[in-house]
Structure 1
Amino acid sequence: MEKKFIEKIQKHQGILHKICFVYSNSKADKEDLYQEIILQLWKSYPSFRKESKFSTWMYRVALNTAITLNKKAALFEKHKTQLYDEYSIAEDIDYSEDLKILYKAISKLSKIEKAIIMLWLEEKTYSEIAQIIGISKKNVSVKLVRSKKKLTKMIKKIS
């Protein structure tokens, strides 16, 4: 079971890196989130019922973990002021300048908007996105249109 799990995680690790990048403020946060997602995936793996693709299930667990940890961090941050250096994509991932701008803009969206945009960029169907996020297909469509408009405005400001 462990060998199969590791193989599947390695095959889909790009998903985890993208989620960690978008939901983290620093390299240390990214590494912590990555480890927490792996832990939650491992804990949940025995209950994976294979009713959906492994990558769809992995997205759901990873996004739920990222969102939950961000909520906890937000509560903590209300009581403590902490300065973060802006996380530099260049120090960890070799993306083109356009992708760096896109991911910087995505990181400024709400938690749900980030998830929907990331899944859409992964070419998931509206049905798959709805299943992963836990909202209706119609709601996915509405949120996707709104998120794209927000991204367009942000990208124009950044570039």
Structure 2
Amino acid sequence: MLKAERDRIFEEWMEAHQAILFKVARAYGATHADREDLFQQMALQVWHSIEAFRGEAAVSTWIYQVALNTALAWNRKERKHGQGRQDLEAATGLLVSPASHDPRLEWIYQRIAELDEVNRSLALLMLDGFSYRDMSQILGISESNVGVKINRIKATLVAQLAKESNDEL
């Protein structure tokens, strides 16, 4: 594939699907700088991987898979170097502009950031409306395991919300 063709495809895909990278970066990066760095890493990996796209899944599904795999590897590397997720409160919001700040969205992203890697990935995919089949293909787990994990995630979030609501009373 010629570089010009790869660049054209990359620009087309980023225009249509960059929100996926923003969401994944927001879930896996603790600080604004982390999210920017992770976004760049994911975008670079998408660009490098264009030739590997076989068209067996939708472009959005494939980009999600590349983004999540890159985020997981990045997260392991960052943890290894002791940086980890430390600054959730300093979130500047890659997806939410200050004019449309929604505390419910902030709450859900904070709770998603507290999940382990697989559950965090599942929560993002669930919020974007992916089917259990697509989620299982992206993460390499069975559809039934996806269903069990999603039910547990929902139960955990409901319990946390109830606890926080009771604590405020």
Same fold (TM over 0.5): yes
Greater displacement, 50-59 / 84-93: 84-93
Q: 1:72 to 1:18 in 2, by over 3 A?
A: same
TM-score relative to the length of structure 2:
0.85
**82, 91, 106: which is aligned to 1:88?**
91
**142, 146, 152: which is aligned to 1:136?**
142
Q: Which has the larger radius of gyration?
A: 2
Q: Which residue pairs with 1:76 in the alignment?
A: 81
Q: 1:136 to 1:85 in 2, by over 3 A?
A: closer
Does structure 2 retain, via aligned residues, the 8 Å contact 1:130–1:136? Answer: yes
Q: 1:74 to 1:6 in 2, by over 3 A?
A: same
For 2:87 and 2:161, how far apart are their aligned partners in 1?
Answer: 22
The question of 1:99 aligning with 2:105 is answered yes
For each residue in 1:66-94, what CA deviation from the matched residue of structure 2 results, as whole angstroms up to 9, or x when unmatched?
Answer: 001111111221xx799646332458623
Deviation at 1:147, TM superposition (A): 1.0
The question of 1:108 aligning with 2:114 is answered yes
Q: Which residue pairs with 1:125 in the alignment?
A: 131
Q: Which residue pairs with 1:5 in the alignment?
A: 10
Q: Which amino acid aligns with 1:33?
A: L
Greater displacement, 145-154 / 65-74: 145-154
**28, 36, 44: which is aligned to 1:39?**
44
The question of 1:49 aligning with 2:54 is answered yes
Percent of counterpart pairs with the same letter? 35
Q: Which residue pairs with 2:24 in the alignment?
A: 19
For 1:135 and 1:111, how far apart are their aligned partners in 2?
Answer: 13
For 2:50 and 2:67, how far apart are their aligned partners in 1?
Answer: 12
Deviation at 1:33, TM superposition (A): 0.0
Gaps of 5+ in 2: none
Q: 1:91 to 1:60 in 2, by over 3 A?
A: closer
For each residue in 1:87-125, what CA deviation from the matched residue of structure 2 results, as whole angstroms up to 9, or x when unmatched?
Answer: 324586234121111111111111110110110111110
- For the aligned residues, what is the CA RMSD? 2.1
For 1:83 and 1:105, how far apart are their aligned partners in 2?
Answer: 14
